[in-house]
């Protein structure tokens, strides 16, 4: 089985679905983390975009290694400037066909960050187009089983598929810790989005809350594009 997470920025995969990715990797599934951008806006103004991107790419590769990912890739979009267009949709179609995943994980459609919202729409529409033989790209059609959306608790995002990540919480938190450059940035950014205050504690607590809802120690929640019963994501 091949699980592909397509996320907007380095650290998104770790925060939103790191336990699930680690769990699939531990059971021998193939795991790919594809980043739309290199996160070059994730700085406090003391470094250039190129310098920030280089650091964040290294951190993302280290994080992927902690999670057990087989591949960590970057799709070449610009941080804060992902736009919806047919050309960009076809770029994601080509990426999906190249990966040939069984399931795809990505952002929920509603989110404060515009890159998350656009990524969700691009991946959803590319998922549909990836199976169409007449939609020509370098790789042939593929037909992933499902798309699973992750996100922040909101009035719209209500997960219905839960993964028991109790045995993988430590690995998830260690993966997040690899993003050292983001600690100061996210703390400063907490003035805009309070969830970034005490990030690791907050993520741990959220897993416990979802776990209590489902009778396990810790869990991650997803909203599937197609509803179906599943032990794992696929």
Per-10-residue mean pLDDT of the chain, 234 residues long, equals: 97 96 98 97 85 96 98 97 97 98 96 95 97 92 96 84 96 94 69 58 92 95 82 64
pLDDT for the residue numbered 194: 46
Identify the residue whose tokens are 């770790």.
Answer: 14
Q: Which residues contact 20 (CB under 8 A, 6 or more apart)?
A: 3, 105, 163, 165, 168, 220, 222, 233
Domains present along the chain, CATH in parentheses:
2-224 (3.40.50.10320)
pLDDT for the residue numbered 153: 72
pLDDT for the residue numbered 228: 67
Identify the residue whose tokens are 């594809």.
Answer: 34
How far CA 77 is from CA of 48, 161, 173, in Å, comes to 17, 30, 27
What's the distance, Cα to Cα, between the start and end of the chain in Å? 8
DSSP alpha helix (H) spans, the chain: 12-26, 49-67, 86-99, 114-129, 169-177, 181-189, 199-214
Buried/exposed code over 152-174 (b: 16+ C-beta within 10 A; e: otherwise): beeeebebebbbbbeebbebbbb
pLDDT for the residue numbered 46: 79
pLDDT for the residue numbered 230: 60
Answer for the pair 48, 27: CB distance below 8 angstroms, yes or no.
no
pLDDT for the residue numbered 187: 65
């Amino acid at each position: 089985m091949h699980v592909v997470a397509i996320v907007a920025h380095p650290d998104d995969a770790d925060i939103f679905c790191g336990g699930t990715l680690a769990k699939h990797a531990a059971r021998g599934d193939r795991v790919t983390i594809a980043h739309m951008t290199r996160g070059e806006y994730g700085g406090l103004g003391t470094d250039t975009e190129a310098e920030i991107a280089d650091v964040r790419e290294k951190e993302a590769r280290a994080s992927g290694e902690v999670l057990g990912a087989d591949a960590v890739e970057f799709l070449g979009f610009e941080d804060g400037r992902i736009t919806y267009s047919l050309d960009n949709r076809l770029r994601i179609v080509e990426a999906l066909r190249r990966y040939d995943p069984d399931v795809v994980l990505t952002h929920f459609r509603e989110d404060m960050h515009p890159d998350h919202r656009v990524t969700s729409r691009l991946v959803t529409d590319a998922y549909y187009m990836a199976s169409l033989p007449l939609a020509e790209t370098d790789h042939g059609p593929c037909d992933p089983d499902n798309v699973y959306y992750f996100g922040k608790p909101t009035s719209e995002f209500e997960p219905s598929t839960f993964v028991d990540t109790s045995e993988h919480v430590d690995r998830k938190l260690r993966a997040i810790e690899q993003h050292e450059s983001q600690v100061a940035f996210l703390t400063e950014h907490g003035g805009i989005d309070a969830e970034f205050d005490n990030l690791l504690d907050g993520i741990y607590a959220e897993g416990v809350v979802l776990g209590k809802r489902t009778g396990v120690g810790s869990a991650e929640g997803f909203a599937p594009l197609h509803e179906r019963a599943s032990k794992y994501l696929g």
